[in-house]
Structure 1
Amino acid sequence: MFKYKVQILKKIISGTNNGLDKNSRRYGDCKLPLKMENVLVVSKLSRLEYERSKFKYISEDELKKELVSRGTDYNSLLYNHDLHKTFENKVVESFKSFNAVVKVVNRFSLKEEQTEWADVVVPAGGDGTFLLAASRVKNNLKPVIGFNSDPRRSEGHLCLPKKYSSDITKAIDELKNGNFQWLLRSRIRTSLFCQSKKLVPKYLHIVETPEDAYSCEPTYKYAEDMGTILPFLALNEVFIGESLAAKVSHLEMYLNDSEESTNLKSSGLCVCTGTGSTSWHMSINRIPVQTVAELLRLMDIEATEDKDSLATVLADIYNQNLLFNPDDPRMGYTVRELISVGVWPQPKGLKPRGFVNKIQVRSKCIDACLVVDGGVSYEFNDGVVAVLEIKPEDALRTVILTD
């Protein structure tokens, strides 16, 4: 009996496909130099800068006292701030050494006309800075190329490999010589349909709303409502749910233009791209080694949670299978903590996780929000409808440096 179970597990392992089909990616060797005459460097917003923006009318000594009173290590904030600024200066000077005109902006001053001026947009920070910079690029023509300013403390999945953080000139030289591949990362377009004539975004990581904050005017009709295409494309994910995590989110979903809807209650809905499959999507769906080990024991298979154990191997295979290509035209949806008892969902049969080409969601919530890439939020209360889809023209142009 034990050998039979092991044979089943071996078949599972050998037949697992993590969805990353290398032959499906829509990119190729460029062979042509990248135009970099005008370079826009987008600066990381350090924690210290964020705190300064909250207390802009007090002195640095007073700010230090305020932070220390809260138990914050001011010296650590200052050290990391200086580290990022030093790296940012290296990026600027490296591009200037190639005769580029360089402008530096931060998330408080970044405007679309600045991205239009640039030949290439260069976030200098981590994935958060990259997402911010990418949000101001509205088409698939302008490249966004990120440098990780602190690879010791940040993964920087969206940035160039960490080795280029210590050799910025080498990366620029490769780009100038065309030694890279294009990667068009899919992004999610969101359309909202509601009675409101204006949709005002709420910025989640900025103290003050920027002067050019978008108030979206309706652009076309959908059924009896006025629809608005949001000016923010999601590179990672769109989350929909009640603002207070303890509240149950009541939503109505239509998948892939189906006329049949499903009413569901859950902790919210996360819809991601292939790029975002390494982020929140992975965190929501990943299976712990402990869980796999407990399942094996239920099958009367002796299991440990050691580094090289069967439980660890199976957990790694399962978790890697959650990822899919950043240029995949599909979206991955996940219903968080789906209530699946009694009459919920209505009707039964909805898979809590799957792929879609298009998804429509109607809110039956009280105090909900729709959040794009964890940075911009819109009200999403009872009656509001969101349509999420991926369009080729909305992709984000990025690069992969050829080793």
Structure 2
Amino acid sequence: MSGFCSLVIPFELSFFFFPFSSLYTLQISYERSEGHLCLPVRYTHSFPEALQKFYRGEFRWLWRQRIRLYLEGTGINPVPVDLHEQQLSLNQHSRAFNIERVHDERPEASGPQLLPVRALNEVFIGESLSSRMSYSWAVAVDNLRRSIPTLKGLASYYEISVDDGPWEKQKSSGLNLCTGTGSKAWSFNINRVATQAVEDVLNIAKRQGNLSLPLNRELVEKVTNEYNESLLYSPEEPKILFSIREPIANRVFSSSRQRCFTSKVCVRSRCWDACMVVDGGTSFEFNDGAIASMMINKEDELRTVLLEQ
């Protein structure tokens, strides 16, 4: 499509299907979505004005970085399942992968394969029960897992290497890797802290350090806001923020860095029924033996319009 037009106007989602075009996005369900990728809400009701501003050049370009993904290893299946088109149960989701594998007559490859999608927001890796869910569904899953004994031990087992460093064994409820665009979404809610937690930590620091620090609500909120704001970064910055969700730490599994900015992340799966989900809509099978490499490449930048109020 990008070879035949200079401007694409998608409605809300499916941004990773346009690899090179300039995007001018419109939010049509602003009551249900923040719409951080879209125009300010008021232009939803006055779209002709937005088009006029675009025609007059009253905007600036924003180059949004995206995550490039490679998949390699034993038994990999590079054929994705579209979660937007298939509302599947957990068992149906697993069967969908098996059906795709039967119809795919290509031999299983062990070398790195560049996947046909780019992550504009995030990549989430984990066992299927967690990886197929957005943040709101993940909260429900957490409650479900606590209430059903057979699900309490369900965790994602994998090895991770950051910036070509040593491999580290980890167990958690999943791994989230986001861009600056996605730092306002699920990643933010995984890492943000509440004022109550900050107040407790400051009180401990005050006691342990014999500090005469005046601890009031204004200070607690200021510290909380500064920390939470540090989790956000510009969509144009060429880096990935990875976050370990609910890490398990013991003598076998470690989590030296639960959150870190990086340029490259490699994950080797040790899971038995896991997925790698791109922007909450495209799912790849990611079971034992599969290795995913994720990085930022300038060739994948998405040029979008930034139109002020």
Q: TM-score, normalised on structure 1?
A: 0.61
Aligned to 1:151: 30
Q: Secondary structure at the match of 1:135?
A: helix
CA distance in 2, matches of 1:217, 1:184: 38
Aligned to 2:142: none
Aligned to 1:205: 84
- 2:19 maps to 1:138: yes
Q: Secondary structure at the match of 2:119?
A: coil
CA distance in 1, matches of 2:47, 2:53: 10
Once the two structures are superposed, what CA deviation does each residue of 1:222-276 show, in whole Å capped at 9, x if it has no partner? xxx2222111100001111111345211111111123x21111111111111111
Within 5 Å, give how 1:1-400 maps onto structure 2: 113=1, 116-124=3-11, 129-130=12-13, 132=14, 134-139=15-20, 142-196=21-75, 199-207=78-86, 225-245=110-130, 246=151, 247-258=154-165, 260-298=166-204, 299=206, 309-345=218-254, 350-400=256-306
Call closer, same or farther: CA 1:156–1:208 in 2, change over 3 Å: closer
Unmatched segments (≥5 aa) in structure 1: 1-112
Moved more, 142-151 or 272-281: 142-151
Query: Aligned letter for 1:372?
Result: V
Q: Secondary structure at the match of 1:226?
A: coil
Q: Is the 8 A contact 2:80 2:284 kept in 1?
A: yes
Q: Is the 8 A contact 2:75 2:290 kept in 1?
A: no
Query: Aligned letter for 2:58?
Result: N
Number of equivalenced pairs: 269
Call closer, same or farther: CA 1:270–1:313 in 2, change over 3 Å: same
User: Which has the greater radius of gyration?
Assistant: 1
Query: Aligned letter for 1:190?
Result: L
Could you say which structure has the greater relative contact order, defined with CA pairs below 8 angstroms and 6 or more residues apart? 2
Q: CA RMSD in A?
A: 2.8
After TM superposition, which residue ranges in structure 1, 4 or more long, deviate above 6 angstroms? 215-218
CA distance in 2, matches of 1:177, 1:137: 24
Q: Secondary structure at the match of 1:241?
A: strand
Q: Is the 8 A contact 1:216 1:230 kept in 2?
A: no
Q: Secondary structure at the match of 1:161?
A: coil
Call closer, same or farther: CA 1:197–1:384 in 2, change over 3 Å: closer
Percent identity between the two aligned chains: 38
Aligned to 1:83: none
CA distance in 2, matches of 1:153, 1:137: 24
Moved more, 187-196 or 377-386: 187-196
